[in-house]
Every structure is written in C-alpha cells, then in structure tokens.
Amino acid sequence: MGDACIMSKIQWENSSLKDLGLGIEDGSVDPCELVEYFLRKIDMDEDRDTIFLNILNSRAKEEAKEAKARAKAGNRRSLYDGIPIAWKDNIDIKGESTSAGLPILAKNKATSNSDAFSLATEAGLICIGKTNMTELAFSGLGINPNYGTPVNPYSDDAPRVPGGSSSGSAISVAKGLCCAAIGTDTGGSIRTPAAWNRLVGLKTTAKLISTKGVVPLSQTLDTVGFLTKTVEDSAALLEIFSKIERVDLADLNCNGLNLLVCSNEVWNEIDPEVDEVMRCALEKLSQGGTKVRWEKIPEIGELLDLVNTYGHIVSYEGSKNWSKFLEENPGAISSDILARFHLGAKIKEDSIRHVYTVLEEIRGRYNIRTGRCNAVIMPAVSTVPPVIAELEADADLYSQQNFLSLRNTRLANLLGLCAISIPAGLTKAGFPVGFMLVSEPFSEENLLKVAAAVEKCITS
C-alpha cells in the first residue's frame, strides 16, 4: 500500500470501535485493509521504534484474514472482531516476548496467553504490536533509557515525556497508529499518559479484570485498563474485558449530575494553566445544569500522610517482587527506577501491615463521604509534561516530577476505586489537561455514563 493510497483512505483511527465493527459487519470495512492501513502508518512514523517494541506484522495480517473469513461466513466472534489494537509489553501473548521495558526480560517468550489477551482473542480483536513502557511499570513519566522514550506529540521545541508507565500504548493511540491500546495502571500508569496526550484513560477496579499473565509490580494494586480516543470506545473495551453488559451511553447529558470536586491536596503545586483549563471545564458543567460542589475530603490528606509516613504499597510489593532479580542482574535497570526499588526495600513489614489496616478504615469513611455524588473530580495531573532532557540530567527533578505525575492518580488505586481521565482542553501553550472522575469500586458502568455526559459537555 503506497503513501498516496493510505492518504486517500478514510482516517480509520478517527472512527469509533462501534462504527468499525459495524463496517466489518456490513462489508464496507475489510479487516485486511484495516490492518494494512495501520501497519503502513506505523512504518511511516519515524518514532515507531520507541513507540512499539514489537510490531507483529505477520501475526496481525493472518488474524485479519481469519476475521475477514469469519465476517464473510457470518460467524463473527463479536461486534469488534477484526479491529486492531496495541498491547503494553508487560502483558503475555503466547509466542511473543514480554520485556516489561527491560531488554533482559525480552529474551524469553511467553508460553501462554494472559487472561486479558485470551478475552481479546475470544472477541476477535487483532494484536498489531506490543508497546514501549517504563521499566517494570515503576514511573509515571514514561522515560525508558533502554529502548528510548516515545516523544509526546504535544511537545513544543523541546521533546517532552509521554507519561507512563503505559507510554507506548498512549502514543500509539494519540498518533493514530492503532484503534485503541491496552495498558496497566498501578498508580496512574494509564491515566497520566492519557491526560498528557489528550486521550481517555480508564482504570478499572482491581480484580475486575484478571491480571494473570501480567508482569507484576504490585499484586494488590495492579489493574488492566484502556487508552482510547473517546469514552464510548472505553465502554466497548470494558464490555469485552469484563464481560459486563454493553453500557448504554446514548442521549446522556450533564444536566442533573451531582459532582464533588476534591478541594484539598490534589490542587497543590498545580500549573496555573492546568488550573485554568480545569476551572473552565467545571464552569461549563455548571452552565450545563450539573451541581458542582467543592469540598475538602479529609481522607485524602490522611491517605497521603499514611503512605508518606509508613510506606507505599507499590514500593513495598514491587521491591519484594524485583529486588533479588535486580541484585542478581546489575545494570539491568536505570538508576532512577532502581532507587525507587531500594526505597521500597527499606519499608518494614509491620509498617506496611499498618498501612493495609488503616487503609481499610480510610476507604470506608471515604466511600460514606462521597457516596451521594455521581463522581468525585480531581485534576488527573497537576503539571504539564516535563522536558525529557531536563529529567535525564537531574535525578532530583526526575524524582519530584515523578511524584507529581502520580500524586493524584494513585489515590484511586489506594482507595480501591475505578477512575477515568478525559480530555479537559489545552493550555495556552498547547498542552493537554486531563479531567479525572473517580467512582466507587466496581461502578464502572456508572462512571462511564457520567464520563460520557461530562465529555459531551466540556468538549462542545
């Protein structure tokens, strides 16, 4: 397929998953052409090698042929059978390597599919490739010195971070190199890159989607989720991966919604332009009939104090999972990430046991306090994406910016909630801002309905 041919095609990356599925159903979209279209776009992208760690050309083409045959025979596996998506490279796909961002891990091929990939296969989704990520998923910035760092497409003169740890998954969708992408989120690894790349990022409730076959960082907090262009597409993927009934997002509006804006720590150290975009979005919601109530949520401050004093679950569990391996393989991981594992190793077992115990009590009070609203609102990230070179040159700046990149998002993980980041708009300098909605555990259907109504209101 030549350049002229690809440019004459409909821009399929801007089509919804539903519309693509219906097109395959009625024969107006050929899965083989669809895959060829995206493979050609990937090949034409000069940054493809930092976005994708493994482009599965032959596999994707063969899967497309099979999807086309099923469509012709009227034997499609789902509405989305034949649609190509990308996968974060910490999720096992049988016969392919799983690096989790480390070359040393890429030497071995997965012997079985992750549960998440098995569900995708059952629905007929096509795997177009595996995407770059932060080493062992342990940073919100997206820098990877081993494989290179995907550049944020909203960068100015200086290349800026993509957000992490699902960096390649986010950039692949933001640049239109696939229809959607699968990521993981332990403390913000889907929502942070979504916020910084003008995408929708859904973090599901822990245990809703099996993490079997996902390289672990924190077994307690790891989740599988999605990076898409719209809330509708996130709902489509949730249908596939959680086996819930299709979420009806038709005819939703923000009139009558009751939203609680957390007014305390999540707004600290916020970039003035990010603040302005958030407040503009909130004003649109108010004008559209939403009840927007600002309130301090004391449990947020208590939660931050708890983990800052006694230690973070991710650091503790991550260190338990990886410290021995990293000791036995010096140089396998960058010094910035290694330092985070070393900090985790210092957390005592009785301290983390205290965190688990107090956390349950905080969760209970938080859920009671916020139970009467449709969702809680926070800025997904309070800053704009930092400059890559500046972070690489300054370890202290890296640590500071990494903390801010995950400070707000990790609250939903610790509280056991589901959360979504949707685009709120652009700063005057042209950087995307993420509008985060948080809802009670296993309330994804409610969250998506609220998010779709908010998306419609603030982007109109």
Question: Which residues form the catalytic set?
Answer: 88, 165, 189
Distance separating alpha carbons of residues 346 and 318, to the nearest angstrom:
12
Closest CA to 209 of 414, 410, 442, 380: 442
- Per the CB < 8 A criterion, the answer to whether 163 and 152 are in contact is yes
396's CB contacts (< 8 A; 6+ apart) are: none
Provide the total of helices (H) and of strands (E) in the chain, helices listed first: 18, 11
Q: Would you tell me how many other CB atoms lie within 10 Å of the CB of residue 176?
A: 17
Residue type at 318? G
The token pair that represents 115 in the structure block: 């549960």
DSSP β-bridge partners for residue 84: 126
Q: What are phi and psi of 151, to 5 degrees?
A: -85, 135
Q: What are phi and psi of 160, to 5 degrees?
A: -115, 160
Strand, helix or coil for residue 200: strand
Strand, helix or coil for residue 240: helix
DSSP state of 141: S
C-alpha to C-alpha distances, 71 to 29, 86, 124, 295, 406, nearest whole angstrom: 10, 22, 11, 52, 43
The token pair that represents 338 in the structure block: 């290694």
Alpha helices in 272-374 (DSSP H): 272-287, 298-310, 313-328, 335-345, 349-370
Closest CA to 179 of 134, 232, 116, 140: 232
358's CB contacts (< 8 A; 6+ apart) are: 306
- Per the CB < 8 A criterion, the answer to whether 34 and 125 are in contact is no
- Per the CB < 8 A criterion, the answer to whether 409 and 192 are in contact is yes
Closest CA to 92 of 127, 59, 60: 127
Q: What is the DSSP string of 53-82?
A: EEE-HHHHHHHHHHHHHHHHTT--SSTTTT
374's CB contacts (< 8 A; 6+ apart) are: 257, 258, 259, 439, 446, 450
